[in-house]
Structure 1
C-alpha cells in the first residue's frame, strides 16, 4: 500500500540525479547588463555523480575597457585580457563543453543572460539547456536560521567548500560545485531524486499540491488516458500520457505552473487511469471523453470544436448555405463559420450560383435584378431571366466538384484570378487567389477525410520502435479496436483477434458517415505517418482522381508567393 508521501522510484522519474551531467559555470564581466560583449572570463566544471569530468577556463577579451571597480573586485586588468580571444572565438568551445548538460550557476539569470546575449550577438544558436540556479535552490532548501546570507561566499563557508570563492571564474565555479552537491544531498528527504523533480522543485509548490502525489500511486506505467475527478466524482480534467503514473505525478511536483490547473489539483479527490495499447488509442479515447464529460478545466471542452459545413439548399434554384449539421453532398468540415462562408462565396462565384437568400419559385419568379446582376455576376433567376434548366449546370458543377469527379469551378476561379492579374488589378487578384486557396484546401481536406470514412473496415500497423507492431482497426472513420504485437509475437493472430473483438460501427448519413471530424483527422494523420502499413482493407483506400489533390503544386506556389509578399511588406 502506498502512502501520500511515497517517493518515486528511479525508473519512474526520467533521469536520476546521480546520472545527470551538470556544467557549473561562472562568468566575470565588465558590468551588470547582459550584452553581446563584456565577458572577461569563463570558468566551468563538468560533474556527474559527484565526480569531476572536466574543467574549462579562459580569459576573454571583452572588446571594451574594464571599469576600475571591476578591476578592483576581480583583479582582471585590461593588460591581462589584451591577448585573450574574443567571445565569438570562445563560445564554440564552451558550447561544445556544455553540450547536453544541465547548466548550473550561482544567480543563474546573470550568467545565462550574458551567455545568451553573446550567442545572439555573434550568430550562435542558444541551445536552451535546462538551468539550475543555486541561489534559488538554496532559498528553497535552507532557512534564515541555516544561513543569514545566500551569497556564494556564505554558502561555501556553510558547507565547507574545498575552494574559497574569490571572484575569479574557475575558483567560483569550483566552489559552486561543492554548494550544489551539498544542496542536492538535502533534497533526498524532500522526495527529489531526479532531474525532472529537481526542475519541478524549484517553483513554489503548495503543501496540499505535493501531498496529493499518492493519487497517482495505483496508475500503471503504460500509455493511456487519465481523468482527475472532483468531490462529487465529476470529471475535472482529461489528458493523455505515454506513462500514466509519471505524467500524473508531475501535477503534484510543481511542473504545472498554470493557476487553473493548480486549482484543479486542489479540488481533485481521485485520478482514474484508462490503459491504452498505444498513443493513437489514447488520443481517440481522450477525444471521446472530452465530448462525453466536457470537463471544466480542459480548454477544449470549454470551447468544443463545432464544425461548419457548406451545402446546397433544396429548392428550384439552389444556393450554397453554411450549416451546422452535415448532410450527404456537403463540403467541409470548416473550423469556423467565417472560413465556411468564404469558401461558399468563392465557390458560388466560380460556379455561377446565386448568393442571395431569396426563395425563388420555378413557376413565377417576381423579383427584381440586384446589383450583382447588373455587374454580370448573376443571371437573375429571381426576375425570370434564367430558367431552372439553364441554372442546373452550375449546381451540377458544384456537386461534381465536391464528389471529386472534376474541378471545373476551380479552373474557372483560377482563370478569373489570372485575368485580374493580366489587367494589373494585383491587389484584387491576390485577394481572389487567397480565397481560392482556402477553397482548394477545404476540398482537399474533405476528400481525404471522406475517403477514409467511406471504408467499411481498414486494418493498419505501425512499427513500435522495438521490433514489434501497433495495430489499429478502423471502421467508417472510427477506431474500432487497437492492440500490439510485441517483438517475437506472431502479428497475424493478434490482428485476427482485434478484428473479431472490434466495435461494431454502423455507417450514418453525411460525408463522414457519422464519424466525428476530429477522430477521423487523428486517424488520418496516424495512417499517413512514415512506416505505417496497410494490413487489409475491405475496399481500396484512394482519394478522387479528379479531386483537389492535383492542385497541391499550385498551393505550394501560392504559399511561396504569399511569403514573399509578407517579406516585402515588412521591408516597406
Structure 2
C-alpha cells in the first residue's frame, strides 16, 4: 500500500446545463457522481497477445476515488513456463525474475477482493479484462461482473489527431503531463493510466458526462448538443411514471412511459441507443421534460394513453382518436344487416364486434360473417312487406340470401338467421370457423393459395374482433371491480376498475393490511358513468391493458359489483385462424376432446 496522494479531479463538481452555464444538480437525483465512484485502474504484463495460449506475468492496479489513491496492488505471477525473449526485452521481466512468484490461482483471489464493487479501468480494456476473465475461468473463480471502462475508447471520443499522433498510453501520458511515465511495467502503466483517466473525464464533463451512469454511453457517437441535454433528466424520479417532452412554446412534443425508472428511460433518449429519426429530431428541439410519477406500472401505461389522447403530440404515433375506432354492428331494423360504424349505440337488438384497428379490418370481419351466414348484404332499409315489382340481387339467385326484399323471407324467418349471426358475434364462433375451414380446405386442394390467404385473413379479423368485444363487454358492464396482484417483495398492487376504466390504484407493502387501503380507494376513486356496452368507459387500449393485468398469474379478484364473466363458447379460446381451424378439424375427426364445454354457459374468472 502506497502513501495516500491527492489528485485534483477536474471532472468532479458542477455540470453544464443546455445553455453551457455551470449548474449544481441535486446529487440524490442524478445518479452517482464520478467523484464518488471507486475506480480500480489495472494493467497486466503477459507472455503474449491472447489468453488462449499465453499467461499473465504481472498485475498492477491502483484504487482511486475522487482523486485520492486508496491503495495499490502489484505482484509478479508465475506463468507456468518461460517468458519469450521479445517479451523480456519489451517489459524487462525475465524467466528468472518469475521463479518463486505465486501462480495465478493464488494471485487472482487477492486481486478480485482488491477490486470488489469497483469500476475496472484499463487502457485497451478488452486485452486486460480478457486475460483476467480467462484466468478466472481456468481457476474456477466466478467473474464478479464489474463495470469496465476503456480509456482507449474514451480517448477516441475527445482526443483528436491534431493533439496526439495516436491513442497509445505513452502518447496520452505525454499529452496530459502524467506524473508517471509508462514503461511496460504493470504498476507504472496503471499509475499513468490514472492520470490519463482523470484528464479524459475532465474533457468529458462539458459534454454532460459527470456521473457513473453517463459512462455507459460516453463513447456513443451522439452530437454534443444532444448529449448536453441529458441534464433535462437530472430532476426526474427513479420510479414508474409518464414523461412529457415539451418544446419552446411549452407544447407537448412527445409522451412516453417507464415502468421502472423515469430518469433512466429519459436519459436513453440522449444516447446512440435511440435510432428513431423523428425522436432524434424531437430531442433536439425539446426544452423541458415533465414527469408524472405513478404508483404502479399499470397506472403509468394508462396515463400515457390518456395524455396522448389529450395532447395529441405530433411525435407520437399511437392512436389519438379512440372514438374513431370502427366496430362491426348488426343493425336494429325489421331486416337487420351488418355495417361498419364509429359509435356504439344503445339500440334494441344491436350486437357489436370490435373495436378494430382500421376500417379495412372491420370490413374483413363483415366478409367473414357473410361467408358463414345468408344475411343480406344490400345497404338500403327494407320495408316489412316487400313492394310489388321488387327484384332480388344476384346473391339470391346464388342461394346466398333469403331475398326478404322480394318476400322470399318474412320477418320471423329472417330473424332466425339474424339470431345465429348475433350468437356468433357475442358468444360462439364455431359456425364461422367451420365455414372458413371448409372453404380453406377446398382452396388448398385446388392449390389456390392466394385466395386461401385472403380467407385466412378474413377469419383472423373476425376472431380478433369477436374476442376483443367478448373480453370488453363484461368489464364494461361491471360497475366496480377490485383486484390485487402479489408483488415480488410480498406486498400487493391494488387496482380498482369501473366500467373498464382504471379509477384508482395503489401499492401496499407486506406489513400493511390492504383492506383499509381498498376501502379508501373505493371512497375516493373516480366516478365513471356507465357506457353503452361492449364499448368501455375508456380508450379501448386502456381496457386492454387492464384486462391483460387482470389475467396475469397471481392476480385475484377481491370484490365485484355486478357480473364479470365470459361466455364458455367464445372467441377467446383461439384468435389465431390457423389454430382455430386446426382445433375445429380435430373435433370433427375425433382426434381430441372438445376444447369448449358442451353446454352453453359462462365462465367466471378466479376470485380471492
Task: Flag whether TM exceeds 0.5 (same fold).
Answer: yes
Residue 316 of structure 1: aligned partner: 334
Equivalent residue for 1:339, pick from 361, 365, 371: 361
- Answer whether contact 2:473 2:534 (CA < 8 A) is retained: yes
Residue 385 of structure 1: aligned partner: 408
Residue 352 of structure 2: aligned partner: 330
Cα shift at 1:521? 0.3
Relative to structure 1, is the Cα distance of residues 12 and 422 closer, same or farther in structure 2, using a 3 angstrom cutoff? closer
Partners of 2:385 and 2:42 lie apart in 1 by 85
* 207-216 or 334-343: bigger deviation: 207-216
1:247 to 2:270 alignment: no
Partners of 2:534 and 2:287 lie apart in 1 by 42
Cα shift at 1:467? 2.1
* 497-506 or 198-207: bigger deviation: 198-207
Relative to structure 1, is the Cα distance of residues 505 and 304 closer, same or farther in structure 2, using a 3 angstrom cutoff? closer
3-state SS of 2:215 partner: helix
3-state SS of 2:217 partner: helix
Unaligned ranges ≥5, structure 2: 1-13, 18-22, 65-71, 80-117, 128-145, 585-608
Equivalent residue for 2:299, pick from 281, 286, 295: 281
Cα shift at 1:206? 4.2
Cα shift at 1:306? 4.7
- Answer whether contact 1:219 1:245 (CA < 8 A) is retained: yes
Residue 465 of structure 2: aligned partner: 442
- Answer whether contact 1:321 1:344 (CA < 8 A) is retained: yes
Cα shift at 1:516? 1.6
Alignment of 1:143-158 (within 5 A): 143-144=160-161, 146-150=163-167, 154-155=171-172
Equivalent residue for 1:375, pick from 398, 402, 411: 398
Partners of 1:368 and 1:130 lie apart in 2 by 81
Relative to structure 1, is the Cα distance of residues 518 and 149 closer, same or farther in structure 2, using a 3 angstrom cutoff? same
Residue 278 of structure 2: aligned partner: 260
Unaligned ranges ≥5, structure 1: 27-37, 59-100, 111-128, 166-170, 562-572
Cα shift at 1:277? 0.8
Describe the superposition over 1:497-519 as per-residue Cα deviations: whole angstroms up to 9, x where unpaired: 11111000111224124332011
3-state SS of 1:248 partner: helix
Residue 523 of structure 1: aligned partner: 546
Residue 221 of structure 1: aligned partner: 238
Alignment of 1:52-91 (within 5 A): none
RMSD over aligned CA atoms reads 5.1
3-state SS of 1:300 partner: coil
Alignment of 1:4-83 (within 5 A): 4=17, 5-6=23-24, 9=27, 12-13=30-31
Partners of 1:152 and 1:361 lie apart in 2 by 92
1:290 to 2:304 alignment: no
1:139 to 2:156 alignment: yes
- Answer whether contact 2:440 2:455 (CA < 8 A) is retained: no
Equivalent residue for 2:386, pick from 364, 377, 385: 364
Describe the superposition over 1:90-131 as per-residue Cα deviations: whole angstroms up to 9, x where unpaired: xxxxxxxxxxx9999989999xxxxxxxxxxxxxxxxxx999
Partners of 1:560 and 1:181 lie apart in 2 by 69
Residue 92 of structure 1: aligned partner: none
Relative to structure 1, is the Cα distance of residues 185 and 492 closer, same or farther in structure 2, using a 3 angstrom cutoff? farther
* 134-143 or 547-556: bigger deviation: 547-556
Describe the superposition over 1:41-84 as per-residue Cα deviations: whole angstroms up to 9, x where unpaired: 788999997899999xx9xxxxxxxxxxxxxxxxxxxxxxxxxx
Cα shift at 1:345? 0.7
Alignment of 1:426-437 (within 5 A): 427=449, 432-433=455-456, 435-437=458-460
Partners of 2:75 and 2:397 lie apart in 1 by 82
Alignment of 1:341-356 (within 5 A): 341-356=363-378
Q: TM-score, normalised by structure 2?
A: 0.66
Partners of 1:201 and 1:380 lie apart in 2 by 73
Describe the superposition over 1:425-470 as per-residue Cα deviations: whole angstroms up to 9, x where unpaired: 7746665355334322321222112222221111111223222111
3-state SS of 2:490 partner: coil
Describe the superposition over 1:164-221 as per-residue Cα deviations: whole angstroms up to 9, x where unpaired: 49xxxxx9xx989986994476326625466642232222444444444444444333
Partners of 1:508 and 1:303 lie apart in 2 by 17
Alignment of 1:393-472 (within 5 A): 393-404=416-427, 406-407=428-429, 409-410=431-432, 412-413=434-435, 416-417=438-439, 420=442, 427=449, 432-433=455-456, 435-472=458-495
Partners of 2:515 and 2:524 lie apart in 1 by 14
Partners of 2:445 and 2:159 lie apart in 1 by 75
- Answer whether contact 2:121 2:148 (CA < 8 A) is retained: yes
Partners of 2:359 and 2:325 lie apart in 1 by 8
- Answer whether contact 1:25 1:105 (CA < 8 A) is retained: no
1:473 to 2:490 alignment: no
- Answer whether contact 1:227 1:237 (CA < 8 A) is retained: yes
Structure (1/2) with the larger helix percentage: 1
Relative to structure 1, is the Cα distance of residues 42 and 421 closer, same or farther in structure 2, using a 3 angstrom cutoff? farther
Relative to structure 1, is the Cα distance of residues 367 and 43 closer, same or farther in structure 2, using a 3 angstrom cutoff? farther
- Answer whether contact 1:306 1:335 (CA < 8 A) is retained: no
Asked which structure has the greater CA Rg, the reply is 2
Length, aligned pairs only = 497
Relative to structure 1, is the Cα distance of residues 488 and 368 closer, same or farther in structure 2, using a 3 angstrom cutoff? same
Relative to structure 1, is the Cα distance of residues 237 and 157 closer, same or farther in structure 2, using a 3 angstrom cutoff? same
- Answer whether contact 1:307 1:334 (CA < 8 A) is retained: yes
Relative to structure 1, is the Cα distance of residues 510 and 560 closer, same or farther in structure 2, using a 3 angstrom cutoff? closer
Partners of 1:156 and 1:279 lie apart in 2 by 49
1:495 to 2:512 alignment: no
